[in-house]
Amino acid sequence: MADLSSFPITAKWPALTPERIQLYSLPTPNGVKVSICLEEMGLAYEPHRISFDASDQFSPEFLSLSPNNKIPAIIDPDGPGGKPIGLFESGAILLYLAEKTGQFLPKEASGHYEALQWLMFQMAGIGPMFGQVGFFHKFAGKDYEDRRPLARYVGESRRLLGVLNQRLETRTWILGDDYSIVDMAVFPWVRNLIGFYEARDLVEFNGFTHVARALEAFLERPAVVRGLTIPAETPAAKEVPANMSNAPHSAKPPERVFREGRFARIEPLDADGHGGDLWSGGLRDASIWTYLAYGPFSSEGQFRQWLQTREQLQDPLYFTIGDRTSGSAMGCAALMETRPEMGVIEVGHIFFSPALQRTPAATEAIYLLMRYVFEDLGYRRFEWKCDNANEPSKRAATRFGFAFEGVFRQHMIVKGHNRDTAWFSIVDSEWPALEQAFDTWLAADNFDADGKQKQRLGELTAKALGRAS
């Protein structure tokens, strides 16, 4: 276990999980840059709330890490050379995390410096100027008789928004097509200016349509939604047992979405549109239904009737898996047992026609659902459960990277038979590594001319998670 005792700040804010990055912050525009970044990168971290009400930022323990008495600051137990490192200044922290993970920062030299340039633009321009608007418009400075300081900072902020607006006129994000740490630095400040500082009209924000459009896209990102509230207020935090950690998240219920990969597409179940394909693909085979609570079906009509009852459900929410090229429906999977308040969701009700079984399209379909659950919906736990006697399902779960968690004995009765249920899960901190493993497996160069895989998915996912394959 990492030893952070040489950092005096840990005496006031003990590291309950010292192997994780320690974040000392508050959800202010500078603070959330780092919580958003950590969320986007899927890094495990432990947030500590630095209360300005309690003047925490002036305590000797906090100053030992951040001598300028400002949040955010971090300690990474696994810094350069594997040694712990402490850092303050949000821009420096964003750069450090981007370089550590190789994410959200262009790698080739000119793109890298372009990013630095815009990051400096935020740090030296947007942050300080917008901050002064806050002071003179909303806080102590609003009572100053002399209105010239306010006018100066409002004018300067308007000018900076104009620069940003022009930049975004031809780009999705500040650096172009790719979202980066620069967006994580800039947009919390824009949000604050027009929100908390109540300066929307003052800076004539409605004229900056490209900034508004990018801000909206930024605020829709699940990692941003989560990061904006971290570190949350936990008045009793000091009293919780040392082995309890915070679980900030905000997950949304799944919707009837369409997703497409290289081999597969998933779409909301449409009984009339998909029933014929599914049935003619071989779903009359009784072995497909052995472990499911329904089926087999004796005729296409009976199958379609049953499908019609399923397509209306919200939980389980059924998706049809189709072949990307031919478009024909070949199987189904559902998102179920949805508990957004807990950040927990399960994939189940999986049935594949023989032509879909053991194909890249089948694997990719599960991957598309996983990506939807973690990235778009913001879940912290994705479950797979099956009858403990269902060996192929258990093998599939392990191959996909789910961790086996144990067996609930006599958990259910299915079609009159006892079911002991095997539980598996993937948690959000595992997702970035797993996503890379899936991307490697699904890539064109992982298949030879006959479509045979070169690297096995089970080995890639086990390696990504540091498990024995």
Ligand X SMILES: N[C@@H](CCC(=O)N[C@@H](CS)C(=O)NCC(=O)O)C(=O)O
Q: Site residues (CB under 6 A) for ligand X?
A: 28-31, 52, 57, 69-72, 89-91
Question: In 3D, which of 101, 93, 161, 152 has the Cα closest to residue 125?
Answer: 161
Is the CB of 186 or the CB of 345 nearer to ligand X? Answer: 186
Is the CB of 31 or the CB of 86 nearer to ligand X? Answer: 31
415, amino acid identity: K
d(CA 193, CA 343): 31
Is the CB of 29 or the CB of 47 nearer to ligand X? Answer: 29
Please state the closest distance from residue 270 (CB atom) to ligand X, in A. 49
* Cα–Cα–Cα angle for 400, 404, 408, rounded to 5 degrees: 130
335, amino acid identity: L
Is the CB of 57 or the CB of 338 nearer to ligand X? Answer: 57
CA distances from 440 to 48, 257, 281, 458 (A): 36, 25, 29, 12
Is the CB of 89 or the CB of 315 nearer to ligand X? Answer: 89
Cβ(211)–Cβ(190) under 8 Å?
A: yes
**What region does 105 belong to: left with phi over 0, alpha with psi -120 to 50, or beta?**
beta
DSSP reduced 3-state for 195: coil
Tokens of 412: 């259910």
Is the CB of 141 or the CB of 348 nearer to ligand X? Answer: 141
Tokens of 132: 């002064």
Please state the closest distance from residue 69 (CB atom) to ligand X, in A. 5
Please state the closest distance from residue 193 (CB atom) to ligand X, in A. 13
Q: Where are the beta strands (DSSP E) in 33-106?
A: 45-49, 73-76, 85-88
Please state the closest distance from residue 85 (CB atom) to ligand X, in A. 16
Pairing of strands 45-49, 21-25: parallel
Q: How many CB atoms lie within 10 A of CB 407?
A: 11
Please state the closest distance from residue 161 (CB atom) to ligand X, in A. 19
Residue 375 DSSP class: I
d(CA 397, CA 395): 5
Is the CB of 184 or the CB of 457 nearer to ligand X? Answer: 184
Please state the closest distance from residue 412 (CB atom) to ligand X, in A. 51
Please state the closest distance from residue 229 (CB atom) to ligand X, in A. 15
Q: How many CB atoms lie within 10 A of CB 155?
A: 13
Is the CB of 10 or the CB of 132 nearer to ligand X? Answer: 132
Is the CB of 49 or the CB of 380 nearer to ligand X? Answer: 49
> Which residues, 6+ apart, have CB-to-CB distance to 124 below 8 Å?
none
Please state the closest distance from residue 378 (CB atom) to ligand X, in A. 25
Please state the closest distance from residue 88 (CB atom) to ligand X, in A. 7
